[in-house]
Chain A
Amino acid sequence: MKGLKILSALAFVAPLALLMPSFAASQERSDFQTVKAFEAQTKTVAASIDAVQTVQECADVALAIDRIQEEFTPSKGLLDKALYGEKFDERLSRLRFQLKLAQDKLGIIESQVTRIAELEEQVRALSGEVERLSGENLKLMGDVERLSGNIRTLGESNAVTGALVDSLKMVIGQLQKGIKERDQMIFALVDSLFQQYAKPVDQLADVEKRGLALRMDRNNIVTGVKTSIENNLKFLERAELKGSDLAAILQEHQRFSSQWKGLGPKLASLYLSNKQKAKELAVVDTLLAAWSAKARDAYWRGMNAAFSSKQIVVKPIASGNELVSNVTAYINERLTSERPGDEKLKEFNRFDALWQAEMTNGWLPLMESRGDLSADQRKLVEAKLQEWRESFEGTSPLTYAILFAVIVAILAALYVKMKKK
């Protein structure tokens, strides 16, 4: 009986999924093909109405009728003449009435169907957005490759222009934004799908679970998540990324991971009996682990690159402790070195500029948020920098005046004492 229900859900959703509008195709269709397609689609919908069992299925049918109307309205004139026994609008009204009867029979309220149909429309729009962004991101990745190649080639002959580097930076920025947007769309899409079922996944009936799983498949959710991670991984591998880019990617990774933590178990419960999907989910977990490892690597690589890009030779850092000890060692070395004052000041200024620009507002808050750096450790390293800063602050005229007054007082006291003798 249970098996039969699942089969009926499969038999229900699959044909409706084929009723997606294809405007390009419909423009090419002959009159005969248009009429044939309309007849076939309305026949499929009529059969689906006979099979509806859940509110989601009713919403699917309602949307399918809307899509048929949308797709065939341009051919209304032809259909009015060509349909035998009824007109275009009459056929659609008949289907809607048939659906209403089925809903009443199942005790389903119209507003529920409308709400789910709205969410499904949202899913459709988001799905289109994901597809659009995927295409754009792919193109941007190609642009990044091309520009990086140009820079590498021209770099050999020292002919890299500022404009070329700026172009690359701009494209990287666009790509980063595009990847982030696509990630957000995927999770928004998943939310819209889950919202159609007012219960947690483990409380859904089998037929509902099956329907939800089919909706997930129809929108390629698991593949979409995989693509998101793969794009992020590819982006992370770019050598041109600067500290600030990497910090943003790491934040994105944190956000994505926590969202997947919420979604992964729900999907696992949904695909409990589907070995193929369970495998795909495992692949997502593996990819996410790879992203974590790469992100962690990039995290420290990015921080070390921030120092090395300014020719500041701090020993490689791979933990909060090492940040404190290696930066402290570096500053101590500078404090005790026997070099001219001008050189030392220049070295400090270079370090301080980098610290303010990239560490104070970029890396340090990120390290703290990830638990890699405690507030005490931050205070320690900042105190060391302050010590270095103070080492360049000269003695004030007031100090000289006080010193002078003290010496004068001592001399005066000595003089008075000697005179007494």
Chain B
Amino acid sequence: MKASIALALLLLAGCSTLTLAPSDFAWPIMSELTADKNGNVKEERYHLSFNIKPLLFEELKDSVNVAGKSLSVIRDRQGFYYVTGPKFKKVYIFQHTTDGLGLSTSYEVQPAGLSNPEFEQRPPNIRLRSGRDSWLLTRHGVTTPPAPSGGAK
């Protein structure tokens, strides 16, 4: 009995995750990615590429006219991707999965649609600016109500 308990403990220790911390996945500056005719976007600096058709369909109900459509993307310290674009009402939070970028969550920020959205690093938050408005975001939602740009730091 004692031997089997010791074996089980040994097996559990062997399966525990090795974590390298602290870690920082943040991009210092957002990227503006433009889709090609197939809906693919590419981030040269970080060697990242993905297809935005499903996202455009989800947000704009249009996955046909995708060529030239642009998205604003930034990554926070934990490695979550914040994605939005012109005319989007929502911000989408993605994370890596083995199949691609998987949606973690999404939430509405501007019911009328964002005009020219830009993300900025404001640790521990991400700031979203659109025209004269700005919001402080986390991967769970908006932490502050809309404020004029420069107001929310």
Task: Give the interface size class of chain A.
Answer: 10 to 19
Chain B facing A: main interface SS: strand
Check A82 against B29 for contact (C-beta < 8 Å): yes
Within 8 A of A (CB), among B17-32: 28-30, 32
Q: Which residues in A have their C-beta under 8 angstroms from that of B118? A: 30-33
Min CB gap A344→B, angstroms: 79
Q: Which residues in A have their C-beta under 8 angstroms from that of B30? A: 31-32
Q: Which residues in B have their C-beta under 8 angstroms from that of A78? A: 28-29
Min CB gap A84→B, angstroms: 6
Q: Which residues in A have their C-beta under 8 angstroms from that of B120? A: 30-32
Within 8 A of B (CB), among A53-80: 78
For B29, B30, B149, B150, the residue with the greatest tally of chain A CB atoms inside 10 Å of its CB is: B29
Check A81 against B45 for contact (C-beta < 8 Å): no
Q: Which residues in B have their C-beta under 8 angstroms from that of A156? A: none
Task: Give the interface size class of chain B.
Answer: 10 to 19
Q: Is B139 an interface residue (CB 8 A)?
A: no
Cα distance A31–B119 in the bound complex, in angstroms: 8
Cα distance A28–B119 in the bound complex, in angstroms: 15
For A32, A35, A78, the residue with the greatest tally of chain B CB atoms inside 10 Å of its CB is: A32
Within 8 A of B (CB), among A6-50: 27-28, 30-33, 35
Min CB gap B81→A, angstroms: 16
**Contact string, A78-93, partner B, CB cutoff 8 A, digits 1/0?**
1001101000000000
Within 8 A of A (CB), among B23-46: 28-30, 32, 45
Q: Is B84 an interface residue (CB 8 A)?
A: no
Within 8 A of B (CB), among A325-366: none
Check B45 against A32 for contact (C-beta < 8 Å): no
Min CB gap B130→A, angstroms: 10
Q: Is B75 an interface residue (CB 8 A)?
A: no
Within 8 A of A (CB), among B123-153: 129, 149-150
**Contact string, B100-111, partner A, CB cutoff 8 A, digits 1/0?**
000000000000
Min CB gap B27→A, angstroms: 9
CB within 8 A of B150: which of A28, A32, A81, A82?
A28
**Given contacts A31-B120, A32-B120, A33-B118, are A81 and B29 in contact (CB under 8 A)?**
yes
Check A30 against B45 for contact (C-beta < 8 Å): no
**Given contacts A33-B118, A84-B45, are A28 and B28 in contact (CB under 8 A)?**
no
For A34, give the chain B residue with the smallest CB separation: B29
Check B149 against A31 for contact (C-beta < 8 Å): no
CB within 8 A of A81: which of B28, B32, B149?
B28
For A27, A35, A82, the residue with the greatest tally of chain B CB atoms inside 10 Å of its CB is: A82
Check B32 against A32 for contact (C-beta < 8 Å): yes
Check A30 against B129 for contact (C-beta < 8 Å): yes
For B28, give the chain A residue with the smallest CB separation: A81
Check A35 against B149 for contact (C-beta < 8 Å): no
Min CB gap A113→B, angstroms: 34
Check A31 against B150 for contact (C-beta < 8 Å): no
Check B28 against A82 for contact (C-beta < 8 Å): yes
Min CB gap B48→A, angstroms: 14
For A77, give the chain B residue with the smallest CB separation: B28
Cα distance A77–B58 in the bound complex, in angstroms: 37
**Contact string, A364-403, partner B, CB cutoff 8 A, digits 1/0?**
0000000000000000000000000000000000000000
Cα distance A84–B29 in the bound complex, in angstroms: 11
Cα distance A12–B150 in the bound complex, in angstroms: 36
Min CB gap B51→A, angstroms: 23
For B44, give the chain A residue with the smallest CB separation: A84
Q: Which residues in A have their C-beta under 8 angstroms from that of B150? A: 27-28
Chosen A-B contacts, 23 in total, with CB atoms closer than 8 Å, are: A27-B150, A28-B150, A30-B129, A30-B149, A31-B29, A31-B30, A31-B118, A31-B120, A31-B121, A32-B30, A32-B32, A32-B118, A32-B119, A32-B120, A33-B118, A35-B29, A78-B28, A78-B29, A81-B28, A81-B29, A82-B28, A82-B29, A84-B45
Top 4 nearest A-B pairs (CB, nearest first) are A81-B28, A82-B29, A31-B120, A82-B28
